[in-house]
């Protein structure tokens, strides 16, 4: 287990390099930060037109944020629900649909 109090000096001037490699600390971040709060994925101005999308990450999950036909914005996990195949390999762009290249499902 990680002693979090020992990772930062009392005056806040310095932090331990352990924060970059400690797996237990990373697991705590996933649980206490990414698992509990809203995360910023993109700004709607970056996807102004129908079909515009950007890729983002939520901890270890890759997410696609896309402008819909009805002008709403939706976010999806970037994988086929059947076998987990990645459906989008671009960082951003415009598309009519996301298609699994294994199944051909859209």
pLDDT for the residue 93: 97
Q: How far apart are CA 105 and CA 85, in angstroms?
A: 11
Q: How far apart are CA 52 and CA 50, in angstroms?
A: 6
What digits encode the pLDDT tens for the residues 60-74?
889 999 999 999 999
- CA-based nearest residue to 51, from 8, 20, 92, 96: 96
pLDDT at 1 over 80: no
Domains of the chain: 44-94 (2.102.10.10)
Confidence band of 106 (pLDDT split at 50, 70, 90): confident
Higher pLDDT among residues 87 and 106, named by residue? 87
């Amino acid at each position: 287990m990680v002693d979090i109090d020992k990772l930062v000096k009392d005056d806040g001037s310095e932090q331990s390099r352990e924060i970059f490699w400690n797996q237990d600390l990373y697991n705590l971040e996933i649980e206490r930060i990414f698992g509990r709060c809203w995360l910023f994925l993109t700004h709607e101005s970056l996807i102004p037109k129908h079909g515009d999308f950007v890729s983002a990450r939520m901890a270890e999950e890759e997410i696609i944020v896309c402008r819909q036909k009805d002008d709403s914005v939706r976010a999806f996990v970037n994988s086929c629900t059947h076998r987990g195949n990645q459906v989008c390999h671009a960082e951003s762009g415009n598309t009519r649909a996301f298609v699994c290249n294994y199944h051909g499902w859209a």
